[in-house]
Structure 1
């Protein structure tokens, strides 16, 4: 079968040949439909994150996948079911985090991530997966199911943020999403479906005309240009935020976000920054957190429950939004286009096979 991989010591994806995997006991064989491309893929390709499985000289890419069950292999799954795989796998059999169904809470060294670190990904014509790492989704999501994984990341982050406010009555009305990439836009669409949030904002660094700004404003949200209004000045220009979702990986944003919060607000951090030292007024930061009952949570990865919730959220997202978000789906013969970057590119995917309803 054909697969898209990056070899150790290179930074260019290529098509390679690999044998079709044989599912082990408790696994099913999945025929891949589509696999999304995101910023993590680019970090892996450029050598800034992740690595190949032990003893191998290449890593099959891709962690945002949707496929169709080809061989149930005696499991409870049925041939033809549409499924989405979760990302993390135990490195040595299992451990307590996986046994509890909480692989997303495992610390470094106690997990592999398919297509990222220690395990081959899903950018291949077929992949095998344990049944407890597969989530069924409706056939109507066969073409957009690769969005379930990124949405699940936000499902978890919002859950953690709400949990941090659960000791009192918290009625959020305003939210600011930092980052107008595909994850930021998916988060904005998710919050837009939440009846609590009456006013939404999304921060970026782009000039008009720009397709992401068009989506933000078509959704009824306000675009905030960080070159004109830095995060910590948002309350002066707009209002204090009940919820801030950080998806940029810009190291100053967590500290600025505390200033952007309204009293009792919460920041969810998802971006992973590079090392950077700079001055921070630690006293002011501490005072804001304490005197105004503010909170900050970090979140990475997600588990089956979040994937299931993400599929339900995806069902609610308007068709116009998904059409404008996904700017390109490419066959394996032109897969390079899925890795292109530019201001007109938002979300891309590689298609390995087409879904035909049975």
Structure 2
């Protein structure tokens, strides 16, 4: 079978031949339909993140997938059922996090991530997976099923933000998304159309005209150019935010979020920056957190429950939004185009086959 793999750091993915996998007991064989491309894939390709399975030079890419069950292999799944796979797997047998159904909370070294760290991904014509990591999705949503994984990341982020404010009455009326990449835009759409937050803002560094700015404003949100209004100045120019969602990986934003938050607000950090030393007024930030009951939390990955919620969220996103968000779906004969970057590219995917 054909697969898209990379030697981390080599700079470009290649099409390779791999044996078609055979499902073990408890696993199903899935025929791949679509696999999305995101920033993590580019980090793996560049060698900044990720590693192949032990003893192998190349890693099959892809962690945002949707497929159709080819062989249920005695599991509770049905052949012909559309499914989305979760990402994390046990590295060497189950541990307490996986036993509790909380693989997303496992620390480094106690998990593998398909297509990222220690396990091949889903950019292949077929893949196998334990049935418990395959989440059903309606057939009508299958062409956009590769969006379920990134949506699940925000499902977890919001869940944890709400949990951190659960000791008192907290109903966010304003939200600020830092970053107008595909994850930031998906999150903004969730805030606007699913969570129904009254006022939303999205920070970016783009000149008009730009398709992401059009998407932001079509959703009814306000675009904030960070070159004109830095994060700490947003409260004075617009307003403080009850919820800040950081999806840039720009390390200073983690600290600037404190200034952007309204009293009792929470900032959720998802970006993964490179090491960077810089000066901050730690005393002032500490004081701001304490005296105004603000909170910062970090989150990564998601579990099956978040994927299930993400399927429901995907069904609620406006078709006009997803049409503009997905700027290209490419077959294997032109898969390289899915990895290109540019001002007119927002979200891409590789198509491995039709239903």
Residue 197 (structure 1) shift:
1.1
Return closer, same or farther for 1:131/1:207 CA change in 2, 3 Å cut-off. same
TM-score by length of 1: 0.98
- State the partner residue of 1:185: 185
Instruction: Give the superposition deviation at 1:9.
Output: 5.2
Counterpart for residue 122 of structure 2: 122
Matches within 5 A, 1:239-250: 239-250=239-250
User: Cα distance, 1:171 vs. partner?
Assistant: 1.6
Is contact 1:171-1:196 (8 Å) kept? no
Please give the alpha-carbon distance, in whole angstroms, between the structure 2 residues aligned to 1:41 and 1:195.
Answer: 29
> Please, what is the CA RMSD of the aligned residues?
0.7
The aligned counterpart of 2:106 is 106
Q: Is the 8 A contact 2:5 2:59 kept in 1?
A: yes
CA distance in 2, matches of 1:184, 1:114: 23
Report the 3-state secondary structure (helix = DSSP H, G, I; strand = E; otherwise coil) of the residue aligned with 2:147. Answer: helix
- Alpha-carbon distance in structure 2 between the residues aligned to 1:50 and 1:309: 27
Partner of 1:265: 265
CA distance in 2, matches of 1:24, 1:223: 49
Tell me which residue corresponds to 2:232: 232
Structure 1: runs of 5+ lacking an equivalent: none
**1:198 is matched with which residue?**
198
What is the correspondence of 1:1-358 to structure 2 with a 5 Å cutoff?
Answer: 1-8=1-8, 10-355=10-355
CA distance in 2, matches of 1:146, 1:112: 20
Cα separation, partners in 2 of 1:9 and 1:41, compared to 1, 3 Å: closer
SS of the equivalent of 1:329 reads strand
Cα distance between partner residues in 2 of 1:25 and 1:135: 18
Aligned residues, how many?
355
1:162-218 Cα distance to aligned partner (Å, 9 max, x none) = 100000011210000000000000000111124551000000000000000000000
TM-score under structure 2 length normalisation: 0.99
8 A Cα contact 2:178 2:247, kept in partner: yes
Structure 2 Cα separation of the partners of residues 138 and 106 of structure 1: 30
Q: Give the conservation status (yes or no) of the 8 Å contact 1:172–1:196.
A: no
Which consecutive segments of 4 or more residues in structure 1 shift more than 6 A? none
Aligned to 1:43, what secondary structure does the other structure show? helix
